[in-house]
Amino acid sequence: MVTATHVFGSFAVPDTAEARAFYAGTLGLEVGPVAGMEEQGLIEIDLGEGRSVLVYPKPDHVPAVFTVLNLVVDDVEAAVDELADAGVPTLRYEGFDQDARGIARGDGGPAVAWFADPFGNVCSVLQEA
């Protein structure tokens, strides 16, 4: 068994300065450079409670085909409206019954809407059931 001293997630973008502007400016998340790695362009998104996700530059970036970041919100409708006001559209997926605003409501599961960052990585806002 692996004995980890710390665990974190990460994903790539082609431009971490633009990613920082989106995740901090558009989404309102706490984003900063990784101490000692500023020259390499690594940033981290603060998830709270001492947790973060690493975002690293990858010039030949290909967007993830899965959700890389989920933002739990109290009101998914308000979050979708805020995203729309910021010019961030929701994504649509076959097999999900999404309303006119792109919100899917599962049987007893969370209400969720997906959107992409400027690089095509999929994120979501979700309201827990």
Mean pLDDT over residues 5-32, rounded? 94
Looking at the domain 67-127, which fold is it?
A: 2,3-Dihydroxybiphenyl 1,2-Dioxygenase; domain 1 (3.10.180)
Q: pLDDT digit string (tens) for 93-104?
A: 998 899 999 999
- 9-57: which CATH architecture? 2-Layer Sandwich (3.30)
Largest Cα span, the chain: 47
Q: pLDDT digit string (tens) for 23-72?
A: 999 999 999 999 888 889 999 999 988 899 999 999 999 998 899 999 99
pTM of the entire predicted model = 0.91
What gap in Å lies between CA 52 and CA 45, rounded to an integer? 5
The domains of the chain are located at 9-57, 67-127
